[in-house]
Amino acid sequence: MNKLYLALGIVAVVFLSSLFFLQGNNVETPQKTQPTFSQEKSFNLDVKLWSFTPNVIKVKKGTKVNLNFNVIQGNHGFMIPELGESVYLPQGEKQQLSFIADKPGMYTFYCNVPCGRGHSNMRGQIIVEA
Protein backbone atom coordinates (compact mmCIF):
# COMPACT_ATOMS: atom_id res chain seq x y z
CA MET A 1 0.00 0.00 0.00
CA ASN A 2 2.86 2.41 0.82
CA LYS A 3 4.41 1.67 -2.58
CA LEU A 4 1.13 2.64 -4.26
CA TYR A 5 1.03 6.01 -2.46
CA LEU A 6 4.68 6.61 -3.29
CA ALA A 7 4.08 5.83 -6.96
CA LEU A 8 1.00 8.10 -7.06
CA GLY A 9 2.98 10.89 -5.37
CA ILE A 10 5.77 10.60 -7.93
CA VAL A 11 3.26 10.65 -10.82
CA ALA A 12 1.57 13.74 -9.31
CA VAL A 13 4.89 15.58 -8.93
CA VAL A 14 5.91 14.75 -12.52
CA PHE A 15 2.49 15.83 -13.84
CA LEU A 16 2.48 19.13 -11.92
CA SER A 17 6.09 19.83 -12.92
CA SER A 18 5.29 19.28 -16.59
CA LEU A 19 2.29 21.65 -16.34
CA PHE A 20 4.50 24.31 -14.79
CA PHE A 21 7.20 23.77 -17.44
CA LEU A 22 4.72 23.95 -20.32
CA GLN A 23 3.09 27.07 -18.93
CA GLY A 24 6.49 28.76 -18.66
CA ASN A 25 7.16 28.10 -22.35
CA ASN A 26 4.02 29.99 -23.37
CA VAL A 27 5.19 33.19 -21.73
CA GLU A 28 6.48 35.68 -24.31
CA THR A 29 9.78 37.33 -23.52
CA PRO A 30 9.56 41.08 -24.12
CA GLN A 31 11.98 42.18 -26.81
CA LYS A 32 14.38 44.97 -25.93
CA THR A 33 13.63 47.86 -28.23
CA GLN A 34 16.24 50.25 -29.52
CA PRO A 35 15.57 53.90 -28.77
CA THR A 36 14.36 55.78 -31.79
CA PHE A 37 15.77 59.06 -33.02
CA SER A 38 14.46 61.68 -35.40
CA GLN A 39 17.78 62.89 -36.80
CA GLU A 40 21.49 62.26 -36.50
CA LYS A 41 24.26 64.84 -36.00
CA SER A 42 28.01 64.35 -35.83
CA PHE A 43 30.50 66.65 -34.12
CA ASN A 44 34.28 66.56 -34.41
CA LEU A 45 35.98 67.49 -31.14
CA ASP A 46 39.67 68.31 -30.90
CA VAL A 47 41.09 67.31 -27.53
CA LYS A 48 44.23 69.06 -26.27
CA LEU A 49 45.71 69.83 -22.90
CA TRP A 50 42.92 71.48 -20.99
CA SER A 51 40.39 72.03 -23.78
CA PHE A 52 37.67 70.46 -25.87
CA THR A 53 36.96 72.30 -29.13
CA PRO A 54 34.10 72.96 -29.59
CA ASN A 55 33.05 73.09 -25.96
CA VAL A 56 29.35 73.83 -26.58
CA ILE A 57 27.17 71.45 -28.58
CA LYS A 58 23.49 72.14 -29.33
CA VAL A 59 21.03 69.51 -30.57
CA LYS A 60 17.28 68.97 -30.68
CA LYS A 61 15.58 66.39 -28.46
CA GLY A 62 15.51 63.00 -30.17
CA THR A 63 18.79 63.50 -32.03
CA LYS A 64 21.34 60.72 -32.24
CA VAL A 65 24.60 62.45 -31.34
CA ASN A 66 27.93 61.14 -32.64
CA LEU A 67 30.96 62.69 -30.99
CA ASN A 68 34.19 62.06 -32.90
CA PHE A 69 37.27 62.78 -30.80
CA ASN A 70 40.66 63.68 -32.24
CA VAL A 71 43.07 63.45 -29.30
CA ILE A 72 45.91 65.79 -30.18
CA GLN A 73 47.71 66.25 -26.88
CA GLY A 74 47.67 64.25 -23.63
CA ASN A 75 45.59 61.37 -22.29
CA HIS A 76 42.08 62.40 -21.33
CA GLY A 77 38.59 61.19 -20.64
CA PHE A 78 35.17 62.50 -21.59
CA MET A 79 32.24 62.13 -19.21
CA ILE A 80 28.62 63.30 -19.17
CA PRO A 81 27.44 62.04 -15.76
CA GLU A 82 23.76 62.98 -16.18
CA LEU A 83 23.56 60.91 -19.37
CA GLY A 84 25.69 58.05 -18.06
CA GLU A 85 28.22 58.41 -20.88
CA SER A 86 31.99 58.13 -20.63
CA VAL A 87 34.95 57.27 -22.86
CA TYR A 88 38.74 57.11 -22.38
CA LEU A 89 40.70 59.26 -24.86
CA PRO A 90 44.36 58.21 -25.27
CA GLN A 91 46.73 60.59 -27.05
CA GLY A 92 47.07 60.13 -30.79
CA GLU A 93 43.89 58.06 -31.15
CA LYS A 94 40.49 58.80 -32.56
CA GLN A 95 37.49 57.70 -30.50
CA GLN A 96 33.75 57.94 -30.97
CA LEU A 97 30.87 58.19 -28.51
CA SER A 98 27.24 57.98 -29.65
CA PHE A 99 24.04 58.48 -27.68
CA ILE A 100 20.47 59.63 -28.17
CA ALA A 101 19.67 63.04 -26.66
CA ASP A 102 16.21 62.13 -25.44
CA LYS A 103 15.83 64.59 -22.54
CA PRO A 104 15.90 68.38 -22.93
CA GLY A 105 18.35 70.19 -20.69
CA MET A 106 21.89 71.45 -20.24
CA TYR A 107 24.45 68.73 -19.56
CA THR A 108 28.00 69.43 -18.46
CA PHE A 109 30.78 67.30 -19.86
CA TYR A 110 34.34 67.24 -18.58
CA CYS A 111 37.64 65.41 -18.62
CA ASN A 112 37.58 62.65 -16.01
CA VAL A 113 41.26 61.69 -16.30
CA PRO A 114 43.64 63.96 -14.32
CA CYS A 115 45.78 65.66 -16.96
CA GLY A 116 47.66 68.47 -15.21
CA ARG A 117 47.21 71.95 -13.85
CA GLY A 118 44.43 73.04 -16.25
CA HIS A 119 42.42 69.83 -15.80
CA SER A 120 39.60 71.50 -13.85
CA ASN A 121 38.98 73.91 -16.77
CA MET A 122 38.53 71.10 -19.29
CA ARG A 123 34.76 71.12 -19.59
CA GLY A 124 31.85 72.11 -21.79
CA GLN A 125 28.10 71.76 -22.31
CA ILE A 126 25.69 69.79 -24.39
CA ILE A 127 22.40 71.65 -24.78
CA VAL A 128 19.40 69.53 -25.74
CA GLU A 129 16.55 71.74 -26.93
CA ALA A 130 12.93 70.60 -26.83
Domain residue extents for the chain = 39-129
| Span 72-94, pLDDT tens digits | 999 999 999 999 999 999 999 99
The span from the CA of 82 to the CA of 71, in Å, is: 23
DSSP state for residue 105 in the 8-state scheme? E
| Span 29-51, pLDDT tens digits | 555 555 676 799 999 999 999 99
pTM surpassing 0.75? no
The span from the CA of 78 to the CA of 2, in Å, is: 72
Q: Is domain 39-129 given the CATH code 3.40.190.290 in the classification? A: no
